[in-house]
Structure 1
Amino acid sequence: MLPVVSSGETETARTMLFEAIDGEPLYEVARTPHVTVHDAVSTAREDGFDALQALPVGTLLDRIATAGQLFVDEGAPAASSTTFCVPFDRYQRSVVKATGLPAGWVRTSAHWLAFGLRHAAESLRAQSPTGALDVYDDPAYTRETDVGLAFTPRVRVLGGMMPSNDPAVYAWPALALAMKIPIVLRPSDRDPLTAIRLARALRGAGVPESAVHVLPGDRSIGETVCRETDHAMTFGTEDAVGSFRTEPSVETYGPGQSIAVLARKPTEQELDSLARGVLRSAGRACYCLTRIVATGECNGDVLAKRLARRVTELSGPTYGSLIDEQATVPGFAPDTAEQVTNAIRRIPGQDVTAAYCEQRLVERDGIARLRPTVFRTDTLVPELPFQFAGVTNRESDAVVPPDGAYLAVVVGSDDLERTLVRSPAIANVYGGRYPASVDLRETHETYLTSFLYRTTTYDPS
């Protein structure tokens, strides 16, 4: 039984038996009553906020760093907790079965999350107005030697309706906790395991229990969390986040629609970088490249063929076991794979990868696999939950996608780099390369402090 984590761990009368993508029973998970959401938010806003504010930031960061290590430990209990976490390999296997993410990526992502917790101090410094940590304890500081200011919390509790596409996404609410803001999270039903494991690690490391709440339940629980907390984050497809787009107290993340723009023929190293951007995180993260735009001296037909060949080479064996640490291609329940395949059929254009790997969809042992796919098309392709990209030709003055992008890579044009940097539609711009990793010192569309903190005037006596 996966419990509600709020003022201890609680099993509920109403539960849900969840199945793996192959249809096998996987785990039973509690259903949080709506009244518990109200209680958890109230506890976090009052007791949780006060408990975090009373902790020196250095002490809190040490505890969060310990939690990062506990998260990836092979089943050792936290020193101050009576709850044993399951061994890491069992957690990893369960996430693979529940989500279809390859085992190697689950391990990589979990360790990246742990690394982010261990190095949370660097992320907090990057978001501090002074570059130092002391403002999280004593908010007063001066600018221009005589302007008195204060860096103060804007909210007392952060909510989150979390996705299942990547365990590392939990780094962002964990960093909010490091900034002394309590968290109330509704995990995805597809992966409540990561949220519960993280909560146990945080509480076991000595982070106040009143500041950490995980409330599994149906989507309405997540919507209540988002609307009852002072500010919230929600992730997912347009269907998942669209209803919150106009709510100023909810940050929406996704779909990423990340893009690469090439103004000349890419070098072999640059092509490798782009191919890894298509394959990264099993193609399911907001920063995976989906739209590849050829402009200027870059020939779209040639680029599509080169990219398709490199994506096929780098993806390796396509249909092996998801539990194999070397696997790179995600799995799906057969009905989900068919829905994705139908979406592909509606895209006008040519599957260029068909020349290198004939069969796109393979089903074995109740699990469907979709090989990485590169399309040559005249339209900007939609984002799909696997390793998929479309190569399109566009004029240089029309490369900014109308619906924006989380991440843009620009190859071969300083002017285009500046154009995209100045565009309010683009969140992050990388010149000449796809980033090898996501750096928590950088923005994720924006800094957490942009909505968790504010700068006020403070002229002390």
Structure 2
Amino acid sequence: MIDLPALVPNGEYRSRRREVITDTAGVPVAELSLAPPLYIARTIAAQRRITALPADERHAALAKAGAAFVDSTAAGLNFESYVQLASRVSGLPIAVARAQALDVSEAVVAAFDSVQPARPVGAVPDWAAMPPGQAGAIWSRRGAVFGVHASGNAPGVHGLWPQALALGYRAAIRPSRREPLTAHRLVMALREAGFRDDDVTYLPTDHAGADEIISSADLALVYGGDDVVAKYGSDPTVFVNGPGRTKIVLTAEQDWREHLAVIVDSIAGLGGMACVNTTAVLVEGDAAGLAEAIAQRLHTIEALPADDERAVLPTQPLANAEAIARRVAARAAGTVPLLGADQIVADLGDGRAALRPAVHLLAGPDPEKLGTELPFPCVWVAPWERTAGIAALRNSLVIGAFTEDDGLMTALLDEPTIANVYRGPVPTYYTASGLPHDGFLADFLMRTKGFVSRG
């Protein structure tokens, strides 16, 4: 059993309340110490009392931490052992888990530079850089402590929050109890690289403790479904990363055959578990033909254990997989099941099941069905007419647009509920340094202040 204590300002904290972490076959692999709310409040108060490290020290420490995340040993695990265990507990295919963990390392190294595109061109990050007698803007933090409720579907989510450290925040991380390994390893790497114990803490906890992190921190980042959006969506101090409901749209002049590979990759890449995976495809034209072609491609994916290097599909405990299949069946009423709920569960014989892809053809762009997002390759295909406008495309993290219609592109980019628009053969899970995810995190963390110094 791997011991995962809380990581707090005075080192490690082991509580009497423990939670056993199992892999998707139900095998216990780690024990997590759960920090109580009062302890969390005291921890964050201690973080608030220190000042930020100088910018050059933060920059250097982040560069070292990215390397330490890969090269060091944490909780008795080297990098490959950590990847294997993260894959086992999350159900993410091991090759995807490894690639995402390496992405985290690169994101941490680049964190200081990644926040710079969000800085207004008229603002400087340090008042000392303002020439005497000049009036201008200072880019300033909106708080001191940043709380994070991390998700457990993939290591890659941990590539974002270190940007808060780059900006001088202290960070309090609540790991997912589904996959707490990545956050632990990253906090250990950051401390090894030069961040103080007070700069970044690791606070496994229950729901009461999670609420305490939100209330004690100045600002917070949370991940979750519609319930999380409903709970925190109206709170201006909380940045909510909810369901992606990522979509692809093809207009009539497009030959979908030319784009089939990108469409299928957008659905099944990253195990189909990410908010940037395509879950709905709208077609101005032959929707049935495209749906059948997608189903044929996805049907060829072999169901394998997540620790098989060839695995593409995610795994879940068998009972969870069966519950997901029942949910798909209920939501699919009235659709044409090209790969239906009855074939989703691939029992691997050891308590785990791989989740085979699901493809359903709709008679029209039903918002409820098109908004269904599940942690495996599951896509809803519907006919769509340009004359109907973009209502069916709203509330999307990413829209992949295959179109020559510049007017449609303008409408998509002007729509406030669409976060990102990728035109042409770009997978919807594409990311790059300087490319916002759901806006820049620094847009939320920072503000500009007027500054004048004379005399």
Q: TM-score, normalised by structure 1?
A: 0.90
Please tell me whether the aligned partners of residues 135 and 453 of structure 2 are also in contact (alpha carbons under 8 angstroms).
no
Question: What does residue 428 of structure 1 align with?
Answer: 420
Please tell me whether the aligned partners of residues 304 and 354 of structure 2 are also in contact (alpha carbons under 8 angstroms).
no
Letter in 2 for 1:51: A
Question: What does residue 304 of structure 1 align with?
Answer: 291
Q: Give the alignment partner of residue 369 of structure 1, picking from 336, 341, 354.
A: 354
Deviation at 1:120, TM superposition (A): 2.1
Q: Give the alignment partner of residue 273 of structure 1, picking from 262, 265, 273.
A: 262
Task: State the SS of the aligned residue for 2:420.
Answer: strand
Once the two structures are superposed, residues 270-310 of structure 1 have per-residue CA deviations (whole angstroms, 9 ceiling, x without a partner) of 22111111012211111111111112xx2111111122223
Question: What does residue 92 of structure 1 align with?
Answer: 83
Q: Give the alignment partner of residue 352 of structure 1, picking from 324, 328, 338.
A: 338
1:130 equivalent to 2:117? Answer no
1:39 equivalent to 2:26? Answer no
Task: State the SS of the aligned residue for 1:458.
Answer: strand
Please tell me whether the aligned partners of residues 123 and 441 of structure 1 are also in contact (alpha carbons under 8 angstroms).
yes
Please tell me whether the aligned partners of residues 394 and 418 of structure 2 are also in contact (alpha carbons under 8 angstroms).
no
Question: What does residue 388 of structure 1 align with?
Answer: 378
Question: What does residue 188 of structure 1 align with?
Answer: 176
Task: State the SS of the aligned residue for 1:150.
Answer: strand
Question: Aligned partners of 2:181, 2:5: CA distance in 1, in Å?
Answer: 10
Deviation at 1:268, TM superposition (A): 4.4
Q: Give the alignment partner of residue 419 of structure 1, picking from 384, 394, 411.
A: 411
The change in CA–CA distance for 1:138 and 1:279 in structure 2 (over 3 A counts) is farther
Please tell me whether the aligned partners of residues 101 and 282 of structure 1 are also in contact (alpha carbons under 8 angstroms).
yes
Q: Give the alignment partner of residue 152 of structure 2, picking from 155, 164, 174.
A: 164
Question: Aligned partners of 2:277, 2:128: CA distance in 1, in Å?
Answer: 37
Please tell me whether the aligned partners of residues 305 and 315 of structure 2 are also in contact (alpha carbons under 8 angstroms).
no
Question: Aligned partners of 2:394, 2:321: CA distance in 1, in Å?
Answer: 26
Please tell me whether the aligned partners of residues 375 and 391 of structure 1 are also in contact (alpha carbons under 8 angstroms).
yes
Task: State the SS of the aligned residue for 1:119.
Answer: helix
Deviation at 1:18, TM superposition (A): 2.2
Question: Aligned partners of 1:358, 1:34: CA distance in 2, in Å?
Answer: 44
Task: Choose 375-384 or 245-254, whichever is displaced more.
Answer: 375-384
1:179 equivalent to 2:179? Answer no
Please tell me whether the aligned partners of residues 37 and 225 of structure 1 are also in contact (alpha carbons under 8 angstroms).
yes
Unaligned stretches of 5+ in structure 1? 78-82
Please tell me whether the aligned partners of residues 37 and 215 of structure 1 are also in contact (alpha carbons under 8 angstroms).
yes
Task: State the SS of the aligned residue for 2:279.
Answer: strand
Question: Aligned partners of 1:241, 1:29: CA distance in 2, in Å?
Answer: 27
Question: What does residue 451 of structure 1 align with?
Answer: 444
Q: Give the alignment partner of residue 442 of structure 1, picking from 412, 432, 435.
A: 435
Equivalent residues in 2 for 1:2-401 (5 A)?
2-7=4-9, 8-47=11-50, 50-52=51-53, 55=54, 57-73=55-71, 76-77=72-73, 86-130=77-121, 135-138=124-127, 141=130, 147-264=135-252, 265-295=254-284, 298-313=285-300, 316-317=301-302, 319-346=303-330, 347-348=332-333, 349-353=335-339, 359-364=343-348, 365-378=350-363, 379=366, 380-381=369-370, 382-396=372-386, 397-401=388-392
Question: What does residue 80 of structure 1 align with?
Answer: none
Question: Aligned partners of 1:46, 1:269: CA distance in 2, in Å?
Answer: 58
Once the two structures are superposed, residues 102-121 of structure 1 have per-residue CA deviations (whole angstroms, 9 ceiling, x without a partner) of 10110010001111112223
Letter in 2 for 1:370: L
Q: TM-score, normalised by structure 2?
A: 0.91
Question: Aligned partners of 2:235, 2:158: CA distance in 1, in Å?
Answer: 22
Letter in 2 for 1:228: S
Unaligned stretches of 5+ in structure 2? none
The change in CA–CA distance for 1:240 and 1:214 in structure 2 (over 3 A counts) is same
Please tell me whether the aligned partners of residues 261 and 399 of structure 1 are also in contact (alpha carbons under 8 angstroms).
no
Task: State the SS of the aligned residue for 2:305.
Answer: coil
The change in CA–CA distance for 1:202 and 1:137 in structure 2 (over 3 A counts) is farther
Deviation at 1:403, TM superposition (A): 5.9
Please tell me whether the aligned partners of residues 139 and 150 of structure 1 are also in contact (alpha carbons under 8 angstroms).
no
Please tell me whether the aligned partners of residues 264 and 297 of structure 2 are also in contact (alpha carbons under 8 angstroms).
yes
Query: How many residue pairs were aligned?
Result: 438
Letter in 1 for 2:4: L
Deviation at 1:141, TM superposition (A): 4.8
Task: Choose 5-14 or 239-248, whichever is displaced more.
Answer: 239-248
Aligned sequence identity (%): 27
Task: Choose 219-228 or 244-253, whichever is displaced more.
Answer: 219-228
Once the two structures are superposed, residues 175-214 of structure 1 have per-residue CA deviations (whole angstroms, 9 ceiling, x without a partner) of 1111111111111100111111000000000112211011
Deviation at 1:153, TM superposition (A): 1.1
The change in CA–CA distance for 1:310 and 1:147 in structure 2 (over 3 A counts) is farther
Please tell me whether the aligned partners of residues 395 and 417 of structure 2 are also in contact (alpha carbons under 8 angstroms).
yes
Please tell me whether the aligned partners of residues 41 and 229 of structure 1 are also in contact (alpha carbons under 8 angstroms).
yes
Letter in 1 for 2:27: E
Letter in 1 for 2:26: G
Task: Choose 196-205 or 178-187, whichever is displaced more.
Answer: 178-187
